[in-house]
Structure 1
Amino acid sequence: MTIPTGSGGGRRIEVQPRASRRHYAATFSTIKVEYVHRRHFRTRTEARLEIATWITDFYNRRRRHSVCDWRSPIDYKRSETRALEAQAA
Structure 2
Amino acid sequence: MSGKGNCFDNSAVESFFKSLKAELIWRKAWQTRRDAEVAVFEYINGFYNPRRRHSALDGKSPVAFEKIAA
TM-score w.r.t. the length of structure 1 is 0.67
If asked which structure has higher relative contact order (CA below 8 Å, sep 6+), I would say: 2
Structure 1 or 2: larger strand share?
1
Task: Map Cα deviations across residues 64-89 of structure 1 (whole Å, 9 max, x no partner).
Answer: 001111010000000111xxxxxxxx
Q: Find the counterpart in structure 2 of residue 77 from structure 1.
A: 66
CA distance in 2, matches of 1:42, 1:62: 27
Q: Find the counterpart in structure 2 of residue 62 from structure 1.
A: 51
- 1:2-13 maps to which residues of 2 (within 5 A)? none
Structure 1 stretches of at least 4 aligned residues deviating more than 3 Å after TM superposition:
none
Structure 1: 5+ residue stretches without partners: 1-14, 82-89
1:38 aligns with 2:27: yes
